[in-house]
Amino acid sequence: MTYAADELAEWAVELSLEDIPAEVVEQAKLHLLDAVGTGLAALALDEMPSARRLAREMGGRPEATALGVEEPLPAALAAFVNGVLMHALDYDDTHEQALVHSSVVVCPVTLACGEAADAAGDEALAAAIAGFEISSRIGLAAAGRFHLRGFHPTSVCGVFAAAAVAARLRGLSVAETRNALGIAGSQASGLLEFLADGSQTKPLHPGWASLAGIVAAGLAAGGATGPASVLEGRFGLLATHVDEFDAAALTDGLGTRWETLRIAYKPYPACHCTHTCLDALADLVAESGLAAGDVAEIVCRVPGRLAVELVLEPAERKLRPATAYDAKFSLPYCLASLLVRGSLGVASFTSSAIQDAEVLRLAELVHYEVAPFPGGNDLSGGVLVRTGDGTRLERAVLHPRGGIDNPMSPGDVVEKFGANAVLALPEAVVDRLAVAHLHLEEERVGELARLLAAAPAVA
């Protein structure tokens, strides 16, 4: 019997850049660039220093560059550090239907294993695109259902992408790559319980998935085996993690329907379930001149249980977030911050910002209702604003800005990268890093690593 892991492994090993449409290649380069930018911004803000300290403490063979660490680290540890940093601000991309943060696993492994293997840029790109497709397809097989069971699909699905990317860059055979995927399934983890108190476990998830995928590929290279039925088997990932799933989504259209194109960039550093409501409110502000003092009530409309559980309940935590991560998963806070400050950026989630009295006052005026969004998805949303003089302002947004149905331009993505990266690197290095990513097929991964090594080491 042929299983999905058999097909995915064969496809990932044999994939050539010439097989991939040009628009997919261009989007993949932009997604890698975007992830590097979010990691550099997090480094500049000294996010998650514990990950860097642990990696330095563990040490080992010098193979790859980790952001903010002076000495080279083993590839798995470098990928761990970079994955944690790239996700630390929750500013990284998401597949709109699969609800997987793709680049924060694919990019760290591509960089670390590519540097360790002295890989050419075209080979790294092909490996990365295989990773984007695999994580997206596993997420699509149970779209939204991982979250509802309390699992974080970025790590649960991402570890398979990490294994595939690492296997490809190590030059593993089809059989060895299938074993790597099988081994990765026993390391698929990540709980959403951070929502209970705003703990810092969520940024660890893509770091762990990156490390675990590299370990899985290394074990397979040494002869270890894993079950080919790891995804759809009786005790495979899907049967154990969700109530129902669509196994056909794992390979349907593989190599002809490109899920990489459906990965959405983030214009706001907050949970993607907040973005359409934020876009709707921003539109109303731009059109009407709405100000915080005008508002009597904001009713945010969301499509269902996923948004309610992630960004609206329990209400007492969402109205007064205790930590930055609490605030990133609070739709009332994000809406209030946008209205009071005129924008929602990385500075909106500092310890002082989340205690702003005017923002918290306005957050108390936010309520929600579940409403249908025909033609939308789990990320659709809208707002109804009632002002003090009785005016009603309404707006709905089916797709968040940054996705295939409501895109950011390549220039927008590069601009976002620049604004993030310049927090940690000189402008000249930022410009060269952007050019290197956008022409990655003409570069070597080592050149990207050399540029990233210019980021200051942070204790």
| Domain of residue 336, CATH code | 3.30.1330.120
d(CA 417, CA 434): 8
> Is position 334 within any domain?
yes
The reply to whether 45 and 178 lie within a common domain is: yes
pLDDT of residue 1: 85
Q: Which two tokens stand for residue 428?
A: 């000249």
The reply to whether 391 and 290 lie within a common domain is: yes
Domain-ending residue, one of 357, 379, 397? 397
The reply to whether 284 and 339 lie within a common domain is: yes
Sheet strands side by side (includes 295-302): 366-370, 295-302, 381-387, 392-397
Q: Which of 195, 197, 202 is nearest to 156 (CA)?
A: 202
The reply to whether 222 and 361 lie within a common domain is: no
The reply to whether 250 and 388 lie within a common domain is: no
The reply to whether 382 and 422 lie within a common domain is: no
- Give me the phi and psi of 382, to 5 degrees please: -170, 175
Residue 75 belongs to what domain range?
A: 4-267+406-452
d(CA 322, CA 272): 20
Under 8 Å between Cβ of 95 and 132:
no
The reply to whether 351 and 439 lie within a common domain is: no
> Is position 457 within any domain?
no
> Is position 170 within any domain?
yes
pLDDT of residue 268: 98
The reply to whether 74 and 208 lie within a common domain is: yes
The reply to whether 426 and 296 lie within a common domain is: no
CATH number at 28 reads 1.10.4100.10
Token look-up 């009071």 returns: 340
Domain count, the chain: 2
The reply to whether 420 and 323 lie within a common domain is: no
The reply to whether 302 and 433 lie within a common domain is: no
d(CA 185, CA 157): 9
pLDDT of residue 459: 59
> Is position 459 within any domain?
no
Under 8 Å between Cβ of 202 and 104:
no
The reply to whether 253 and 354 lie within a common domain is: no
d(CA 399, CA 265): 12
pLDDT of residue 457: 85
pLDDT, tens digit only, all 459 positions of the chain: 899 999 999 999 999 999 999 999 999 999 999 999 999 999 999 999 999 999 999 999 999 999 999 999 999 999 999 999 999 999 999 999 999 999 999 999 999 999 999 999 999 999 999 999 999 999 999 999 999 999 999 999 999 999 999 999 999 999 999 999 999 999 999 999 999 999 999 999 999 999 999 999 999 999 999 999 999 999 999 999 999 999 999 999 999 999 999 999 999 999 999 999 999 999 999 999 999 999 999 999 999 999 999 999 999 999 999 999 999 999 999 999 999 999 999 999 999 999 999 999 999 999 999 999 999 999 999 999 999 999 999 999 999 999 999 999 999 999 999 999 999 999 999 999 999 999 999 999 999 999 999 999 875
Domain-ending residue, one of 397, 421, 443? 397
